[in-house]
Amino acid sequence: MKEIFKQFKEIGIIPVVVMEDAQYAEKLADVLCDNGLPCAEVTFRTAAAAEVISRMVKHRPELLVGAGTVLTTQEVDLAIEAGAKFIVSPGLNPEVVRYCQSKDMPVAPGTQTPSEMEQALGLGLDFVKFFPAEPAGGLKMIKAVAAPYGQLVFMPTGGITPENVRAYLTDEKILACGGSWMVKQQMMADGDWDGITKLVREAATIVKEVRGRGKQAVNSLYRKNKSDYLQKRKLKIS
């Protein structure tokens, strides 16, 4: 498994961000980093996605920022240029997966059926998205279809809420969960940063309670991601 995805285990809940206006990128990056969820999957559902990724990465190098809803190799290139550290797709497109692999870019395609899971294994993957999680049967479905594929672990996304995320996080087949409830676009537009901060903190607390993740583990991720960012740009760490 790619080192980036191993960090997902510590983070637990990956905020899935849809942002129409990149002006909120830096503020959201601060809220995520400072309140226990140092990661963001910025979806390519809007024209601002690449700019959002770029601004987040430059503003908070320790934030683990990736691109979601990536459907084409062209979007992979845009994400890489913007500074994304991982790629997530709603479905399994072998062309996109192989292209990411050729660029040494960690990729988690969406799967739902045994056939798609076997296809992912055939592409050399051991971590995939399960999407849409709740409409497709949720944790019960994951346990049923994943049983023959012991090497696969999952990131369920779609319908994940504060009410059901604990059950997912307790299962050994779940590396992390993707969720958008704490980073709603309308809350950003309304300037409700106190509300967003509260929801992010509550999500981080759930991970800590379920998986025993402490502040030391999160700080370790901060240091590693910032160090990697600076080394790539040949800068000195102050």
> By the 8 A CB rule, do 79 and 53 touch?
yes
User: What's the pLDDT score for residue 236?
Assistant: 40
Please write the tens of the pLDDT for every residue from 65-121.
999 999 999 999 999 999 999 999 999 999 999 999 999 999 999 999 999 999 999
CA atoms within 13 A on the CB side of 235: 10
Instruction: Measure CA of the first residue to CA of the last residue in the chain; give whole Å.
Output: 31
20 is catalytic: no
- CA–CA dist 203, 37 (Å, integer): 8
User: What's the pLDDT score for residue 2?
Assistant: 87
81 is catalytic: no
Q: Which of 3, 41, 116, 140 is catalytic?
A: 41
Q: Is 164 helix (H, G, I), strand (E, B) or coil?
A: coil
Query: What is the value of pTM for the model shown?
Result: 0.90
- Catalogue all structural domains in the chain, each as residue range(s) with its CATH number: 3-232 (3.20.20.70)
Please write the tens of the pLDDT for every residue from 157-216.
999 999 999 999 999 999 999 999 999 999 999 999 999 999 999 999 999 999 996 555
Q: Which of 62, 75, 85, 129 is catalytic?
A: 129
- CA–CA dist 133, 160 (Å, integer): 7
